[in-house]
Amino acid sequence: MLPWIQLDTAAIPGGGELRLKSRGTEFSIMLGTNELMNSRLSGSEEALATLAFERISTHKRPHILIGGLGMGFTLRAALAILPADGKITIAELVPAVVDWARGPMAEIHKGSLDDPRVTVHVGDVGALIATSKGQFDAILLDVDNGPDGLTREENDSLYSHDGIRKSKTALTRGGILGIWSSGPDPRFTRRLRDCGLTAEEIPTRAGKTGRGMKHMIWMAKA
């Protein structure tokens, strides 16, 4: 079996370090001993985009905000179904992750960042949401490990009552807040409902063929 090779490291603002590793054509992004994402497992990240778009498909010129670029699975799934007049804003906190998309993982990203419908915002998605009002038809958050964060404490604010309310304010009428998580969180479901959003819990397998770990996706309607 081919050995893993560390290609690069990247500091996370506020503390911590990401590591990009490869083994043949396979890539992994690690935080310490925790694997945050793997290029072989994209099913639930893609579902985050497709499930959200099903719910805003009647919106004209839809604008989608994706929090967290990662390996670009959610972005590419959204681009595949977004109309020509739609827009996607990608907010990525760690600049090196954007560099990896254009460098060592360029073949995986397949030029998605160069699509004219895409704008890349290097910065905190929470700060962007807080300064937006009625701007997005869907906000898709694949940040950290979901509501139970791993990488930085600041991410927890996205999933707090205040963070949910700010996301609700940033959505258009009937917009969707989509959340990816490594697992279920009943307290977060209640939090969404406390903030006046619907809260569909959709268990989704990590693999495209219905295999792999079961992740949780929330679809919350404003």
- What amino acid positions are annotated as catalytic residues? 142
Distance CA 15, CA 11 (A): 7
- Cα 208 to Cα 220: distance, rounded to the nearest angstrom: 23
Q: How many CB atoms lie within 10 A of CB 25?
A: 10
CA pseudo-torsion sign 94, 102, 75, 218 = negative
Q: How many CB atoms lie within 10 A of CB 3?
A: 7
Alpha carbon distance 79, 32 (integer Å): 32
